[in-house]
Structure 1
Amino acid sequence: MNHSMDYVQDCFLVFDKVGDSRIDKRQVGDLVRALGLNPTNKDIDRVTRSAAAERMTFDEFVPVYQSLEKAEGEREFDVASFYEGFKVFDTDNKGSLKEAELKDILTRLGERLSEGEAQAILSAVVDSDGRVAVDKLVKYVTNTN
């Protein structure tokens, strides 16, 4: 994403709910996602495991952020694989999925989302018939146009 460190620090401080210029290491995933990265929970666990304390300073966060940013830049990203993955669930070949089915997929399979996370995605892509166009979903979650 190439944000300036001043911007990253400003975002970091937004996540400081105590006022001690630290964040809980469980917030790292939310923070880096707010900064535009899309690491897996496994990636987050890997880079925060070495943090000595439950709350980390900005100076402790920077190498974590940079590591995740570098890993994301190196990761091969193939939008076509998203389409192929969702095609398995599009049993009627309409190019869309029922909202309830997609919510079930998002909260039960793979790297599971919470109910709130799934609902946030669904609310952005569901149509008035309660269906989600695979094309619209993929564009939304991959930030492609």
Structure 2
Amino acid sequence: MLDDDGEDIPVPINNDLERRIADAFEVFDHAGNKTVDVREIATIVRALGCCPTEAEIQEILMAVENPESPGSVHLSNFLPYMCQIVTEHKYQPASPAQLLEAFQILDSDKRGFLTKEHISTLMTQDGEPFTQDELDEMLEIAIDPHTQTVPYEYYINQLMCEPEGEKNIYKLADRILKENPPPPPRTVPRSLSQFLHGMTVPNV
């Protein structure tokens, strides 16, 4: 992206959160011009530890795609938008407790597992459907090869590898926000009419 003088827009990095996001972005900046293909954005966002749905990915793309060069995203657009997303804890991964609760709701017979057929139907027909490739990748990890079922507590343990400390980008964002809290909201002076509104003139 170029400014009015035809120069590439500089993108200053002000803190560790911005550095983390910029580093993930730059992995896919193959031309070295602070620009990536829009098709890489979902991978970048998820590599940072965020878990948006496909619909939410489309919202991100609408906000950050370069209007002057459709199909590309410049770091100057992506960086502030992504910082805001992480600081507000949007698209945060589900916790093990939340995943366990979801599986237990589906396991109405309280058997501690779901059948391969049941989980396949749920993943391809409900909510935001998995593609066949996504389903196959999930089942490769989730299915017990001996019983051909999904023992979901074991699967959650296999699945959950929560980053420690500031490897978790949301914890990093919390620290940055604590060190640099946003400025207090600007107080707009009241006008004379606002001061006088509702006041009565004393009797003389």
Task: Provide TM-score, normalisation by structure 2.
Answer: 0.55
1:8/1:35 contact within 8 Å kept: yes
Establish whether residue 14 from structure 1 lines up as the match of residue 27 from structure 2: yes
Higher helix share: 1
Partner of 1:133: 151
2:115/2:149 contact within 8 Å kept: yes
Stretches of structure 1 that go unaligned for 5 or more consecutive residues are none
Equivalent of 1:86 in 72, 93, 103: 103
Partner of 1:64: 81
Comparing 39-48 with 7-16, greater Cα deviation is found at 7-16
1:14 to 1:114, Cα distance in 2 relative to 1, 3 A: farther
Q: Which of structures 1 and 2 has the bigger CA Rg? A: 2
For residues 60-79 of structure 1, give each alpha carbon's deviation from its aligned partner in whole angstroms, at most 9, with x where no partner exists. 22123223323436969564
Distance 1:128 1:33 in 2: 29
Distance 2:49 2:16 in 1: 9
Distance 1:135 1:3 in 2: 35
Stretches of structure 2 that go unaligned for 5 or more consecutive residues are 1-14, 163-204
1:99 to 1:64, Cα distance in 2 relative to 1, 3 A: farther
1:71 to 1:42, Cα distance in 2 relative to 1, 3 A: farther
Shift of 1:4: 5.0
1:72 to 1:113, Cα distance in 2 relative to 1, 3 A: farther
Shift of 1:105: 1.4
- RMSD over aligned Cα, in angstroms? 3.2
Task: Provide TM-score, normalisation by structure 1.
Answer: 0.72
Distance 1:40 1:99 in 2: 23
Distance 1:140 1:6 in 2: 30
1:23 to 1:107, Cα distance in 2 relative to 1, 3 A: farther
